[in-house]
A and B are shown apart, each in its own frame.
Chain A
Amino acid sequence: MLCTNFFRRNLAFVRLAVITNLEYRLNYFIDAVLQPLMTAGIEVVLWIALFQATQSQQFAGFSRESYLSYALWSGFMARVSSNWMYEFRMIFDIESGGINTILTRPMSFFEYYLSQFLGYKGITTVISFIFPTLLSFYLDLPCQLERFPLALLLIFYYLILLFIFSFIIANLAFKLTRVGSLTIAKNFILMILSGELFPLDMLPSQLKKFMLYLPFVNGTFAPTAFLIGRTDVNQISIGFVSITIGILCLAPLAIYSWKKGLTNYVGTGA
């Protein structure tokens, strides 16, 4: 009974996220399709020009097609594996006192936003990943579609870690009130560490080795590189392990920050 209620409740949150985001279709289309498509397009144009300018067949051991495919897929992967909107919403709820409506209902703040976050990312994945798939075929770029489910599984597992991270930052709003800049800082750090800016296998070998063991590479680099054949399944296994370690480290911190935050909270916004 308890389990059924939990499942139904969270399914309702997922539906809520899908309905809310699809309500303004133009807005959603820009977010899920146009923006990543433009980003990928610009990166593709850049890599084409870079290969032309350097007049080489390979760059850091990989072919032109490999970079084009990475540029194409990483834009979409990065869009799915980032958290801006729901983190800002959580912060705003705590800052403004909007959290009161959640606290007085038989659900937790964490599950309410986690389910919405995953629902939103789920629908975004379904809609937006059609485009790089079609473009990969059209441009004949390396893409091993049979690897797609595993890459996707890794991303969604990473999303749980990312959400816990967001939850901790949002909890800081109980104490500091304004923490929006922390979200931006966190996302910039993740942008660098995840491989969104450039493929991490271009880094010097020692640094690369270190970076590939961090859980953050599972946001963009690991799934993209696996999908296009730049890495093997071994990197994915490392990814699952590193995310699990990350979750185990962050979960106690999340629980502590939530309890501490609620103790400080006076019910009228932070």
Chain B
Amino acid sequence: MSALQALRRYVLIYLSLVKASLIADMEYRSNLTIKIFTDILWYLGRLSIFEVIYQHTSSISGWQIQHMRVFLGIVFMVDALSEILFSENLEMFANKVVRGDLDLLLAKPVNSQFMVSVQKVNTSNFFSFGIGFIWFFYNFLKLPSDLNIFKSLWLILLIPNGVCIMYFYRFCLVATSLIFTRAENLQFIWYSLYRISLRPDFMFTSWFRALITTVFPLAMISSIPARIMIEPLSPTPLLGTLTMGPLLLWLSSRYWLYCLSKYSSASS
């Protein structure tokens, strides 16, 4: 099978998964509505932190509230895409291991990592992505400088790249439950780590900033893309960020194979 045929096959499978997920979500409409409401609440929570902080200062390291709102727009878009694609699946992963549901997925004639990661599509987050998109452009256009609107086209690459980085961390943490059997709380580590990417990297001390832009590239999820949008374009962070996503995606597949080699089957 050629690469193009394989790609077409996976796109068709994914479309079927979207359809099945939409049907499943529409069955419980009140739950779907509350999910959308919850996402809005989450965004409001994130916004409130900076809105409150900026009540007491006009600028943090040269960034004003408007810059922060642009940054949050990127945070919202990356977050919504990750929710659509894999969040729900990875949250349920540890349960699949314990109950033995993973064995069924492993027996299917498709890439097991693909099935484990994207089987359930979180359809309510299409709406959240729309909110993030509008929020970003509304605030981006209000920035008080001579910005080039075409620079925002880089987001077509930068946002999926941020999603890939996020996926790597979440996936590797949950895949570890294959080794420890019962370790669903491992994903909580991600929620702590995620707090780092919810803040611009310049807000952290220099050593920590160096850490999150190199060894643990959490700043490349939203912070560096936001700086690329706001500050003059520099090739180094742009290329660094665009390389990191595919690299981590590949590493995640290697780690998955390693964890599978330690897996001792259902309810083990």
Chain A residues near B (Cβ < 8 Å): 24, 26-28, 30-31, 34-35, 38-39, 42-43, 45-46, 48-50, 52-54, 56, 59-60, 176-182, 184-185, 188-189, 191-192, 197-198, 202-204
Name the residue on B nearest A199 (C-beta): B52
* A-B contacts besides A35-B188, A177-B28, A184-B38, 17 pairs, CB < 8 Å: A27-B183, A30-B185, A34-B188, A46-B203, A52-B205, A54-B57, A56-B57, A59-B57, A60-B55, A181-B34, A182-B34, A184-B35, A192-B44, A197-B45, A198-B53, A202-B56, A203-B52
**B149 CB–A CB distance under 8 Å:** no
For A178, give its contact among B31, B49, B205 (CB under 8 Å).
Answer: B31
With A39-B192, A39-B195, A45-B205 already in contact, the answer to whether A191 and B45 are too (CB < 8 A) is yes
For B38, give its contact among A28, A48, A178, A185 (CB under 8 Å).
Answer: A185
**Contact of B182 with A27 in the complex, beta carbons under 8 Å:** yes
With A31-B185, A176-B28, A180-B31 already in contact, the answer to whether A49 and B195 are too (CB < 8 A) is no
Chain A residue contacts of B192, Cβ below 8 A = 35, 38-39, 42
Can you spell out 6 A-B residue pairs with CB atoms less than 8 angstroms apart?
Answer: A27-B186, A34-B188, A49-B203, A53-B202, A180-B31, A198-B53
For A181, give its contact among B38, B61, B180, B199 (CB under 8 Å).
Answer: B38
Chain A residue contacts of B44, Cβ below 8 A = 192
Bitwise, B159-192 to A at CB < 8 A (1) or not (0) is 0000000000000000000001011111011011
Chain B residues near A (Cβ < 8 Å): 28, 30-32, 34-35, 37-38, 41-42, 44-45, 48-49, 52-53, 55-57, 60-61, 180, 182-186, 188-189, 191-193, 195-196, 199, 202-205, 208
Report the separation of the CA atoms of residues A7 and B101 in the bound assembly, to the nearest whole angstrom.
40
Report the separation of the CA atoms of residues A54 and B52 in the bound assembly, to the nearest whole angstrom.
14
With A30-B188, A46-B203, A202-B56 already in contact, the answer to whether A38 and B49 are too (CB < 8 A) is no
Chain A residue contacts of B183, Cβ below 8 A = 24, 26-27, 30
> Which label, helix, strand, loop or mixed, suits the secondary structure of the A interface?
helix
With A178-B31, A185-B34 already in contact, the answer to whether A53 and B203 are too (CB < 8 A) is yes
Chain B residue contacts of A45, Cβ below 8 A = 204-205, 208
For B205, give its contact among A26, A48, A60, A197 (CB under 8 Å).
Answer: A48
**Contact of B34 with A46 in the complex, beta carbons under 8 Å:** no
Shortest CB-to-CB span from B224 to chain A, Å, is: 17
Shortest CB-to-CB span from A236 to chain B, Å, is: 24
For A188, give its contact among B41, B61, B188 (CB under 8 Å).
Answer: B41
Name the residue on B nearest A84 (C-beta): B188
Q: How many A-B residue pairs have CB under 8 A?
A: 108
Q: Which 5 A-B pairs have the closest CB atoms?
A: A38-B192, A178-B28, A178-B31, A181-B34, A185-B38
Report the separation of the CA atoms of residues A197 and B196 in the bound assembly, to the nearest whole angstrom.
13
Report the separation of the CA atoms of residues A192 and B182 in the bound assembly, to the nearest whole angstrom.
31
Report the separation of the CA atoms of residues A159 and B92 in the bound assembly, to the nearest whole angstrom.
27
Report the separation of the CA atoms of residues A177 and B183 in the bound assembly, to the nearest whole angstrom.
27
Shortest CB-to-CB span from B46 to chain A, Å, is: 8
For A46, give its contact among B41, B48, B199 (CB under 8 Å).
Answer: B199
With A30-B183, A35-B189, A181-B35 already in contact, the answer to whether A49 and B48 are too (CB < 8 A) is no
Shortest CB-to-CB span from A49 to chain B, Å, is: 5
Chain A residue contacts of B193, Cβ below 8 A = 38, 42
Report the separation of the CA atoms of residues A67 and B185 in the bound assembly, to the nearest whole angstrom.
28
Shortest CB-to-CB span from B121 to chain A, Å, is: 16
Shortest CB-to-CB span from A130 to chain B, Å, is: 19
Report the separation of the CA atoms of residues A139 and B32 in the bound assembly, to the nearest whole angstrom.
46
Shortest CB-to-CB span from B218 to chain A, Å, is: 10
Chain B residue contacts of A202, Cβ below 8 A = 52-53, 55-56
With A179-B31, A188-B41 already in contact, the answer to whether A53 and B189 are too (CB < 8 A) is no
Report the separation of the CA atoms of residues A24 and B180 in the bound assembly, to the nearest whole angstrom.
9
Report the separation of the CA atoms of residues A195 and B194 in the bound assembly, to the nearest whole angstrom.
19
Chain B residue contacts of A182, Cβ below 8 A = 31, 34
**Contact of B184 with A27 in the complex, beta carbons under 8 Å:** yes
**Contact of B185 with A27 in the complex, beta carbons under 8 Å:** yes
Name the residue on B nearest A43 (C-beta): B195
**Contact of A42 with B203 in the complex, beta carbons under 8 Å:** no
Chain B residue contacts of A185, Cβ below 8 A = 34, 37-38, 41
Chain A residue contacts of B52, Cβ below 8 A = 198, 202-203
Chain B residue contacts of A43, Cβ below 8 A = 195
**Contact of A53 with B31 in the complex, beta carbons under 8 Å:** no
With A35-B192, A53-B202, A185-B38 already in contact, the answer to whether A28 and B185 are too (CB < 8 A) is yes
Report the separation of the CA atoms of residues A27 and B186 in the bound assembly, to the nearest whole angstrom.
7
Chain A residue contacts of B196, Cβ below 8 A = 42
Chain A residue contacts of B55, Cβ below 8 A = 60, 202, 204
